[in-house]
Amino acid sequence: MILGVVTGLLGALCQAIYYFVAAYVGSRYTLSTRAMLVFSHLLMGGASLLGVALLLPGSGARLEAVWMPLLAMNVCYLGGQAALFRALRRDVASRVSPLLGLKVVLLAGVTALAAEETLSVLQWTAVILCGGAALAMSLAGGRLKPSAAGWIMLAVAGYSGCDLGVVALTRGIEVPGLHGALLSVFLAYSVAGLLVAPVGIGLSRRQWRKAFKTWPVASAWLVSMLLMFIAFSILGAVHGNIIQSSRGILSIALALLATRLGLGLADPLKRGRVFYQRLACAVVMAGAIVLFQLG
């Protein structure tokens, strides 16, 4: 349990970093949403194929039992990823990323309806607090642009489907411990690289020459997923997302740090009304995480 919480928090930190890196790389090198999606996933796919080659032999993995969740999670994931890139091009990361915390509400409802996971009253309270704090944290800096709102909701739906697939994959592959979690993530992103490759057909040579510029995006996301797969395999989808929702807090902290350091991000954050509103939301979200643990 402790390992799941620690890896979940570290994964949330890497995701918070990823949002800023993705926004920076996309604007710095004028890469389209399609180019960002294709190039970063081809790089992750190449690294993941190497990981599969190292971990699969002798693992006893039941690949025939997980091909369906593997395919389904990748379709949901790639749809969510494309929607997130679209949202980040229309609004700033510190307003967009907290809204991914709404996943926990959707996942709690889905798992409850499917009778896969029973939550206590305290845990349902934590879910509602977490979702409300995520929404309030985003709105504290101003209303999300309508052009970004629809895309972030699609991202929430896509990532939720992916998270359910992650749990099914890591548990269905029947390879225990860290070995199983690592093999699962490498299998997932090997397939993602193959699925996304045809999407790159038609991209200009000018865009392809910038393919390796997306390596920071690929690195930040792959590391975050390595950590989150471990957390999800231990904690499950709802509990894992409660921990993962701390990325909203961390996004605010990174925006404040970047502003202090004068890094010139698109969404500078200074002390004042917005800062303290978001700090209050962060306290509520931290309380929700503790409440879920107690429940």
Residues of the chain with pLDDT under 50: 266
Percent of the chain past pLDDT 90, that is, above it, reads 14
pLDDT computed for residue 175 by the predictor: 85
pLDDT computed for residue 132 by the predictor: 84
Instruction: Give percent helix, percent strand, percent coil of the chain, each to the nearest 5.
Output: 85, 0, 15
pLDDT computed for residue 259 by the predictor: 65
Given the structure tokens 């990981």, which residue do they identify?
51
Q: Are 7 and 231 in contact (CB under 8 A)?
A: yes
pLDDT computed for residue 190 by the predictor: 93
Number of other residues whose CB lies within 10 A of the CB of residue 134: 28
Taking CA 249 as the corner, what is the angle to CA 39 and CA 168, rounded to the nearest 5 degrees? Answer: 55
Give 149-195 pLDDT, tens digit per residue: 889 889 989 988 888 888 888 888 888 888 888 898 999 999 999 98
Handedness of CA 239, 19, 37, 191 (dihedral sign): negative
Residue 58 makes CB contacts below 8 A (sequence gap 6+) with none
Radius of gyration of the chain (CA): 18
Q: Are 195 and 82 in contact (CB under 8 A)?
A: no
pLDDT computed for residue 117 by the predictor: 64
pLDDT computed for residue 82 by the predictor: 83
Give 44-63 pLDDT, tens digit per residue: 999 999 999 999 888 888 88
Cα–Cα distance between 90 and 83 in angstroms, integer? 11
pLDDT computed for residue 95 by the predictor: 76
**Closest C-alpha to 18, from 210, 165, 214:** 214
Cα–Cα distance between 228 and 124 in angstroms, integer? 22
Number of other residues whose CB lies within 10 A of the CB of residue 56: 15
Number of other residues whose CB lies within 10 A of the CB of residue 28: 10
Q: Are 203 and 91 in contact (CB under 8 A)?
A: no
